[in-house]
Amino acid sequence: MQQEWAQQAGKAQADKAQADSAQGAHGQGADRHDRAAWRQDAPAWAYSAFLVFVLLTGGSSRADSIGQPIVRAISILFVAVLAMVWRPAEWRSLRLPIGFVAVVTLMVAAMLVPVPPGIWTALPGRDLIARAAPLLGIAQPWRPLAISPPLAVNALFALIPAIAALVGLVYLTPLQRARLVSTMVVLVLASAVLGLAQMSAGTGLGWYGTADRDAGAGLFANRNHEALFLALGFPMLAIWGTSSAIRHPTLVTRRWLATGVTVFLCLAIPTTGSRAGLALGAIGLLVIGVLCAAAIRRGVHRLPARWRLASFAAALGAIVLVFVVALTFRQATSVQRLFSLDVGADERAMALSTLKAVAARYFPVGTGFGGFEPAFRAAEPFALLKFTYLNAAHNDFLQLAIEGGAAGLALLAAFVGWWLYRSVVVWRMATAVSHVRLARAGSAMVFMTLLASATDYPVRTPSIMVTLILACAWMQLPRNRSVPR
């Protein structure tokens, strides 16, 4: 009997040891799995941190802004860390954007290469500068194509955040690129909240010293750029609130949160004081309706017949209420500026003829990037002189013709052609194709940015520049027309 008890005790100890060994192996396997998952997601977290830093420091386009060296240094550090720690995940879908940004960078750099005096003096618009050498009694030196080399160097360095944003996407999987929409939604909301706080506190919360004093500019130095950024939040909210590819929170919770943030942005955009922002916000709301049409139809069909009309009336009433509140809000300076708009007295409208003359004078070579300001000052008529100055053409297409000449317009035509082609592709794809709805949102975001560029210069700010890079990358996500499992 004692021998049997000893055998049973020994067997029990062996079973316990085997169970402990299996539990330890399982724990080690779970730890290895957690470490592997963290290492796989780490580039996405690093990219989200990069976006946060860009939005915090890249809201101004001025060369003398204190945020410019910070955002450029962060961009360089971000790329260096990625290159040293991780390996690229997928780059084939980004070949066209990478090639386009590379061509733009080479073109800006080429305008800094000195050319012989005989070639330089024969270029259009250089006669005024060419007079300086004879007056000083020296021979004509070799000069770059850019009429203001320091400003051209700044224009070249201004591309660093865009290059970093594009290179960083190479280290993310397509799913991780899609999930960046969550980070962008949070940043849009943060900028809107800060803008409303600025309206309440006056100039004490101004993010930049040159920020508009009578408007909520949020994380930007310009009210129009803030309004565009908030309007770009509408397409992103449509995807964030309805996509199953996003992990947390649950889909139902995200739908309610997305609806609340959408209403909040409808109230925040008029406080920016941007007239163009009102139009862009209306386009953004229309994009939400298009992107969420299927989800809206499914929700309506699930309702009893007697509730459908009531739901439609409630939705229409909510929209009307939002606009009534926005129009009657005492700080809705964009509405006040809209009704007091005098096109003939607008500085940008008055300068249009001079801008066209400057573009024709330097065409087809252009002034070189960064050369708008000195070129316009040299041609500015007395009727436009005032204590403030025009630091940009407030029409990026026209300014691109002035600074980039025929080459700049060719690049613009290539980009618009790519956007049109890619938009047709993604809007004709089946809705069930992976990431196709996000690609459509990216297409709408590019369209809204192009519209804003016709009356302003939003892409010259690092924040909007990086947002545009993301929108273009999202357009490239659906690679075929097949429906995934």
Alpha-carbon span 121 to 263, nearest angstrom:
57
Tens digit of each residue's pLDDT (9 = 90 or more) over 322-364: 566 555 554 455 555 555 554 444 667 777 888 888 889 999 9
pLDDT score recorded for residue 5: 46
How does pLDDT run across 371-421, given as a tens digit for each residue? 888 888 887 777 767 666 677 888 899 999 999 999 999 999 999 999 999
Q: How far is CA 96 from CA 75, 144, 467, in A?
A: 21, 29, 17
Q: Three-state SS across the chain?
A: CHHHHHHHHHHHHHHHHHHHHHHHHHHHHHHHHHHHHHHHHHHHHHHHHHHHHHHHHCCCCCCCCCHHHHHHHHHHHHHHHHHHHCCCCCCHHHHHHHHHHHHHHHHHHHCCCEECHHHHHHCCCCHHHHCHHHHHCCCCCCEECCCCHHHHHHHHHCCHHHHHHHHHHHCCCHHHHHHHHHHHHHHHHHHHHHHHHHHHHHHHHCCCCCCCCCCCCCCCCCHHHHHHHHHHHHHHHHHHCCCCCCCCCCHHHHHHHHHHHHHHHHHHHHHHCCHHHHHHHHHHHHHHHHHCHHHHHHHHHHCCHHHHHHHHHHHHHHHHHHHHHHHHCCCCHHHHHHHCCCHHHCHHHHCHHHHHHHHHHHCCCCCCCCCHHHHHHHHCCHHHCCCCCCCCCCCHHHHHHHHHHHHHHHHHHHHHHHHHHHHHHHHHCCCCCCCHHHHHHHHHHHHHHHHHHCCCCHHHCHHHHHHHHHHHHHHCCCCCCCCCC
The Cα 211–Cα 226 span in angstroms is 11
Task: Supply 390's token pair.
Answer: 């025009």
- Residue 391 confidence (pLDDT): 77
Which backbone phi and psi does 114 adopt, to 5 degrees?
-65, 145
pLDDT at 199: 77
pLDDT confidence of residue 8: 52
The pLDDT, as a whole number, for residue 482 is 46
Break the chain into its structural domains and give their ranges.
Answer: 41-302+342-475
CB 356 within 8 A of CB 398: yes
Global pTM reads 0.85
For tokens 């996003």, what's the residue? 246
Q: Give the chain's residues under pLDDT 50.
A: 1-2, 5, 22, 25, 27, 330-331, 342-345, 482-485
- What is the rounded average pLDDT for all residues in the chain? 81
Report d(CA 68, CA 58) in Å as an integer. Answer: 7
CA–centroid distance for 438 within its chain = 14
Are β-strands 143-144 and 114-115 bridged in parallel, bridged antiparallel, or unpaired? antiparallel
**Residue appearing with tokens 């990086």:** 466
